[in-house]
Amino acid sequence: MEIPVIDLSRYLEIADKLSTDPVILSGQIEEFGSWLSELCKEVSQILRETGALVVKDPRCTAEDNDKFIDMMEKYFERPREFKLLQERSHLHYQVGVTPEGVEVPRSLVDEEMQKKLKAMPKEFQPSSPSGPDPKWRYMWRVGPRPSNTRFKELNSEPVIPEGFPEWKDTMDSWGCKMISAIEAVAEMAAIGFGLSKDAFTSLMKQGPHLLAPTGSDLSRYGQEGTVFAGYHYDLNFLTIHGRSRFPGLNIWLRNGQKIEVKVPSGCLLIQTGKQIEWLTGGECMAGMHEVVVTNRTIDAIKLASQQNRSLWRVSSTLFAHIASDAVLKPLGHFVESPLASKYPLMCAGEFVEQELAVINLKGNKGES
């Protein structure tokens, strides 16, 4: 199965004209014609059924993605001692670099998840990691942060490595463009779900959004079956990725089917996180996924070696969050969902800290 590609161009042309008032919006949807309603319903339906969406946003080009990946390859190729200068374990690794061997896949520590995995049909079961993920990650905050918040550690100042004068501009530019794509999809999904246009985006304002590219050294860990990111879901609202130069991302649809993701050039992949699951009362489930070296990865490694290109697999991942001090709860009609009781009212920052504790990212808090 191929994930459908949604072109955002037509929506972006009229997005600023759409009201956040549901009554006025209803009239505008009729005025613009059926395409708007159908497109927004398609976005919400795909997110509900697959947990993933491929979009084409004219503001986010393949050249932008390449510029970002080029810089991150240079960074990850630097010696371990250099990269460790950007480590901030006392801040939950929420800024700066996270070394390989720190992030622990949920499937290793969650007994309930392990039972579900064993019950899966053999062909849909995820690969079994032997320990923490052998990938590096760099966390860079994107967008404004609140001046007054209960969760200062989740809204910390960025870390800039020496020797990369283009770092801030490149990170900010690509991060802001991907956030813009997320916001458009969030508006479309809200309209498709019968909520107000800003039902999700109003909660995202000043959220602890993180551009969080990963770096996996395929010259060391390029054997087929190596698990770079064990089976897990993302704890945030929506996750967006640019196209990687090395394949290997598998996702699970809501029906349990496992598929390898192929993102066309110039497109972006969006996945549902735990926070949108909360806000929709389980209507949208957090998408499960893994990154594994496959035979297609091996082919890409061989080609890159022949062309003398970097063998670091970089993912241009961005985690879009609900604001730390905002409240997570089923919105609008989702409060009537049969699963709504599973999603009690909770501060988003509190939820994030609980999740980080489980997956071993508490640094000096004694849980690493």
Terminal C-alpha separation, the chain = 39
Which CA distances in Å does 81 have to 3, 110, 244? 40, 32, 26
**CA–CA distance, 177 with 191 (Å, rounded to integer):** 22
Neighbours of 258 (CB within 10 A): 18
% the chain with pLDDT above 70 = 96
Q: Which two tokens stand for residue 13?
A: 């042309």
**CA–CA distance, 27 with 19 (Å, rounded to integer):** 10
* Ranges of the chain whose pLDDT falls below 50: 362-368
* Strand boundaries in 105-186, DSSP class E: 136-141
Contacts of residue 225, Cβ cutoff 8 Å, sequence gap at least 6? 127, 292, 293
pTM of the model: 0.92
pLDDT in tens, 22-61: 899 999 988 998 999 999 999 999 999 999 999 999 999 9
The reported pLDDT for the residue numbered 154 is: 56
Candidates 5, 116, 26, 53; CA nearest to 276 is 53
The reported pLDDT for the residue numbered 128 is: 82
pLDDT in tens, 163-209: 999 999 999 999 999 999 999 999 999 999 999 999 999 999 999 89
**CA–CA distance, 213 with 308 (Å, rounded to integer):** 22
Which residues in 160-196 are b (16+ Cβ under 10 Å) and which e?
eeeeeeebeebbbebbebbbebbbbbbbbbbbbbebb
Q: Is 310 left (phi over 0), alpha (psi -120 to 50) or beta?
A: beta
